[in-house]
Amino acid sequence: MFIIIGIVVVLGCVIGGFLMINGPLGALIQPSEFVVIGGACIGATIAANPLKYLMRILAVLPVALKGSPYNKNTYSEVLRMQYDIFVNSKKGGLLSIEDDVNNPLASSLFTKYPSFIANHHAVDFFCDAMKMLVNGACSPEELEIMLDAELETHHDEAAIIPALLNRASDALPGLGIVAAVLGIVVTMQHLDGPPEELGHHVGSALVGTFLGLLLSYGMLAPIAANIDNLGQDESKYFNCIKAGLVSFANGAAPSTAVEFARKTIYSFDRPSTTELEPLLKEIKPR
């Protein structure tokens, strides 16, 4: 949502300022410049990246347009989910939640937390770790190393699309110059024409440089930064889950494990102990 608002503000201010100095709006509408700059940018992006990265752009953009799903309510829910699982594990033993972690979508424990269960990456991350504990397949130290490796991979993967878009953004000013040079080439063919005609061609050529800069710094670079911020938000969410898991694996009480997880959350998204404690007290082991 904020991507759309930001782009509208950028275009509104740029075009509005141009109109304030009595600039002719029609002079900025140069379809040929859009074809040269946009087409060359898309072609270069296709040439530079494998298909799996290009398809990933289509998956990430709708998420970026919606904005980050991670807020205080989301974190409050994932903390309550962890507490619920940990309390039941303490009461009935780890084997009592084996069916839940093997099939979380059908589990009465997990389905109580819609924002968590809708995030299949988070569900897999948490349940895979709990399976290791249920099966006794690793020590707490090994679990932490394993989770760190998964988080590092997740972070690297999340950085692919912002880097891709930043490279495309960096190319746009240069492609704008290409379009401008082509416009100057056309202008040189009309040197014997009237000044009005020469001015029209030169103006059209300069629009290419303008569009390259505007599309780069006013649109594509901010979109890349927004997607990068989304990736960081998601990494923080996963770190919260990891902190709770590792603490519980090391023998901490459910409330202590949840507090470890809570401490990893940024202050503007972190539920306070006053807010969280009544919610945790409502959770009863089955």
DSSP for 174-228? HHHHHHHHHHHHHHHTTTTS-HHHHHHHHHHHHHHHHHHHIIIIIIIHHHHHHHH
Question: What pLDDT does 203 receive?
Answer: 84
Q: Which of 59, 71, 45 is nearest to 237 (CA)?
A: 71
Give the alpha-carbon dihedral of 184, 190, 195, 201, to 10 degrees. -40
Average pLDDT (49-66) is 92
Question: What pLDDT does 186 receive?
Answer: 86
Question: What pLDDT does 20 receive?
Answer: 94
User: In terms of C-beta distances under 8 Å and separation of at least 24 residues, what long-range contacts does 76-79 make, across chains too?
Assistant: 76/271, 76/275, 76/276, 76/279, 77/113, 77/114, 77/115, 77/116, 78/113, 78/115, 78/116, 78/122, 78/237, 78/240, 78/241, 78/261, 79/240, 79/244, 79/258, 79/261, 79/262, 79/271, 79/276, 79/280
Amino acid in the structure at residue 10 = V
Kindly state the percentage of the chain with pLDDT values over 90: 78
Amino acid in the structure at residue 276 = L
Per mean pLDDT, which range of 63-77, 152-166, 179-193 is the poorest? 179-193
Quote the CA–CA distance of 267 and 279 in Å, as a whole number: 19
The whole-model pTM stands at 0.89
Give the alpha-carbon dihedral of 99, 105, 109, 115, to 10 degrees. 150
Inform me whether the pLDDT recorded for 126 exceeds 80: yes
* Cβ atoms within 10 Å of 29's Cβ, excluding its own: 10
Average pLDDT (27-48) is 93
pLDDT tens digits, 176-222: 999 999 988 888 887 777 877 788 888 888 999 999 999 999 999 99
DSSP 94: G
Question: What pLDDT does 87 receive?
Answer: 95
